[in-house]
Amino acid sequence: MSTTAPQKFEFQAEIKQLLDIVIHSLYTEKEIFIRELVSNASDALEKLRHLQLTEKEIYDDKLELEINVTTDDKAKTITLQDFGVGMTRAELIENLGTIAHSGSKAFLKALGEGGQKNTNLIGQFGVGFYSAFMVAKSVKVYSHSWRLNEPGHVWTSDGSGSYEVEPSEGERRGTKIVIELKDDCGDFAEDWKVKEILERYSAFVSFPINLNGKRVNTIQALWLRNKKEIKDEEYTAFYKFQTHAAEEPRLRLHFSADAPLSINALVFVPKENTEKLGFARLEPAVALYCRKVLIDARPKDLLPEWLRFLKGVVDSEDIPLNISRETMQDKALIDKLNKVITKRFIKFLDEEAQNHPEAFNEFYGEFGIFLKEGAALDFAHKDQLVKLLRFESSLTEKGKTTTLADYVSRMPAEQKDIFYLIGPNRAAIESGPYLEAFKARNLEVLFCYESVDEYVMNNVREFDGKKLTAADHADVKLSDLPQPEGALSEDDVKALTKWMQETLGQRVADVKASDRLVDSPVLALNADKFTSPHMRRMMKAMNKDGVDSPLRVNLEINPRHTIIKRLSASHIAEPEKAQLIAEQLLDNALISAGLLEDASAMVARLNKLLETV
Ligand SMILES: Nc1ncnc2c1ncn2[C@@H]1O[C@H](COP(=O)(O)OP(=O)(O)OP(=O)(O)O)[C@@H](O)[C@H]1O
């Protein structure tokens, strides 16, 4: 048969099935057809660039390697033209009439497994060239191969089961796809609409994209360039473009890997942690690209939750372009990417901590809470993350911090646990009664000021084989100190604690002499093993059930303290005043523990006590 007359072909059965679904699905994100066609155009240009290195004779060789998109809002058409490799007649038939590409095959396979009800699968795969039929009444593909002696052809179809191919005179090299839009898809013939879509999906495509004669993509895909050749200003400009930030980034990591996956990543830590400022929980903002084409701007599982503060781009050639923006089909692949990037980012933080401790500490002050979250919840990375945690301690200056490893290196041989205290700030912890027993025994205590710290410490549980232990926990056993002179006798202590127990009634579970107290008269330890003082405070604040029960504490008294000695001497002779003092001592202990829940009785009591002076 002559090849000059139009020739009609039936689509392969699978393509018919595919087209039927593409056309009839109510898939909402129709706009992705632009991404798919631009991506095909970019591939065709890339292939041509390679051919130019090896081939002497290329048809229409002077053409710019660019993509031109034009819209006609009167005729309701959109046209995408590239000056890439183009297709011969045989290639048009082979590539556009039979099921060639892997995405469509995977789509049909998944469809076969789930039946027709799975038509929404189309959103999960993308179907390359055929996505044009989501919006098209008809599609014309004009193409001229790069080969000199191949004439140009036009491929035409309305997607209903057959297509035609006929010669077309005067074609430039490459491919021009003219889409006559369906009536309800007229938007895609509007310049502003197409501009927005191109900017979103194709901003970094390496060939110029012109829309109605105007260049759309001007930013380079920085992440694919050699980092030695990139200036700081370029990184900053890219960061600002990508994140719409006004400020420079705080830290950046640019890396590539070939195994186990091919990855190019450029991620940034912003200046500020907006969650800390009270803004909403951050959403994932490291976009996933495949060879410069956007796959998903906010992929959910690309990074662990605790890395949600990172911004930037991850590009992997291993990702099939038709993976969806909505649901990542290839979970195993995303998991692999997640592992590689997380591991690399933790290593980067480790290096920062070693090489730029000041910058790291500033970062930690702003974003440390995310590392804590990771240490508590990300089991796979817990061990590495715990090493990055920093705390003030009883041995650091105010504002200076220690690592757990350094703490352990300072531990005396007989110390088994790593001790910590939770409090609103350094002054509160230092002036409280809990620290003094540890100080007297030269035991270092970590200071924790953030509300998540208790949760973190409970989840982390141990470091380097040493248990993390709250220093205000009733179970902590400390070594004996030499008894100073002038303490109450054992009998006096017995009598006083018995009397206090009776006097304070339900408010205390137990009263006993303390081996912890050095300078303070009393100390309250939580009698409830399961709800720490800090947890109780938080639960109260959140109005949680189970904290309505009256608080009961173990009260410890210091038999060497003047107030206690006086109380011992006077409680029989002046029972009324002694009762006021005992109650006030309990309230003082509760204040130090952050457990005083109702201060109203205290004022009246203090006034009464003052009257006795
Ligand atoms: N603009 C173009 N220039 C040259 N060849 C093209 C062009 N568009 C499509 N093709 C050819 O048609 C084939 C089928 O395209 P289609 O978009 O369906 O799948 P694909 O591009 O191979 O796969 P994927 O979309 O997964 O990358 C391509 O492999 C390519 O050979």
CB 556 within 8 A of CB 478: no
pTM above 0.95, yes or no: no
Phi, psi dihedral angles at 76 (to 5 degrees): 55, 55
User: In testing the pocket of ligand 1, which one of 93, 105, 129 has its CB within 8 Å of the most ligand atoms?
Assistant: 129
Enumerate residues 6+ apart whose C-beta is below 8 A from 348.
Answer: 253, 255
Structure tokens at 338: 């997640």
Whether the ipTM is more than 0.95: the answer is: yes
Q: Measured on CA atoms in the order 203, 207, 208, 211, is the torsion positive or negative? A: negative
Residues of the chain with CATH 3.30.565.10: 7-215
Closest ligand 1 atom to the C-alpha of 128?
Answer: 17
Question: Low-confidence residues of the chain, pLDDT below 50?
Answer: 1-2, 116, 119, 123-124, 323-328
For residues 56 and 186, what is the distance between their CA atoms, to the nearest angstrom?
Answer: 43
Q: What are phi and psi of 179, to 5 degrees?
A: -110, 120
CATH 3.30.230.80 in the chain is located at 222-367
- How remote is the C-alpha of 518 from its chain's centroid? 46
391 secondary structure, DSSP code: B
Which one-letter DSSP state was computed for residue 321? T
CATH fit for domain 7-215, picks 3.90.1150.10, 3.30.200.20, 3.30.565.10, 1.10.3720.10 = 3.30.565.10
Q: Residue 182 gets which letter from DSSP?
A: P
d(CA 352, CA 253): 11
Query: Could you write out the DSSP letters of every residue in 544-569?
Result: -TT--SPP-EEEEE-TTSHHHHHHHH
Q: Which residues pair with 269 in a beta bridge?
A: 251
Torsion, Cα 530 535 539 544, to 10 degrees, reads: -20
What strands, in cross-sheet order, belong to the sheet with 285-290?
A: 251-257, 263-269, 311-315, 285-290, 293-296
Q: Rounded to the nearest whole angstrom, what is the distance from the C-alpha of residue 454 to the centroid of ligand 1? A: 56
Q: Does domain 490-611 correspond to CATH entry 1.20.58.390?
A: no
Residue with tokens 């970590």: 446
Q: Whose CA is nearest to atom 28 of ligand 1?
A: 95
- Among protein residues, the one with the nearest Cα to ligand 1's atom 20 is 101
d(CA 452, CA 376): 10
Amino acid at 179: I
Residues with CB under 6 A from ligand 1: 36, 40-41, 44, 82, 84-87, 95-96, 100-101, 103, 128-129, 175, 320-322
Q: How far apart are CA 327 and CA 484, in angstroms?
A: 70
Q: pLDDT tens digit string along 32-66? A: 899 889 989 998 998 898 888 888 999 999 999 99
Q: What atom in ligand 1 is closest to the CA of residue 102?
A: 26
511 vs 553: CA distance, rounded Å: 9
Residue 1, pLDDT score: 44
* Burial letters 587-601, b for 16+ CB under 10 A, else e: bbbbebbbbbeeeee
pLDDT, residue 2, reads 47
From 43, 293, 322, the mutation candidate for ligand 1 (largest count of ligand atoms within 8 A of CB) is 43
Alpha carbon dihedral 497, 503, 505, 511, in 10-degree steps, equals -10
Cα separation, 209 vs 393, in Å, equals 58
CA 162 to chain centre: 48
Q: Determine the Cα–Cα distance for residues 588 and 522; give it in Å rounded to an integer.
A: 8
The verdict on domain 222-367 having CATH code 3.30.230.80 is: yes
Name the token pair of 600: 């109203």
**Ligand 1 atom closest to Cα of 129?**
17
**Class of domain 391-470 as given by CATH:** alpha beta
User: How does strand 508-513 pair with strand 553-557?
Assistant: parallel
**Nearest CA to 418 among 444, 388, 392?**
444
pLDDT at 326: 43
Of residues 145, 157, 184, 187, the one with CA closest to residue 34: 187
Residue nearest to atom 14 of ligand 1 (CA): 95
Ligand 1 atom with the smallest distance to the CA of 86 is: 4
The protein residue whose alpha carbon is closest to atom 15 in ligand 1 is: 129
Largest CA distance in the chain: 126
Q: Which of 117, 135, 149 is nearest to 187 (CA)?
A: 135
Paired tokens of 213: 């004669």
How many CA atoms lie within 13 Å of 265's alpha carbon, on the beta-carbon side? 28
Report whether 594 belongs to an annotated binding site. Answer: no
Which pLDDT belongs to residue 100?
63
Q: At what angle do helices 453-460 and 357-377 cross, to 10 degrees?
A: 70
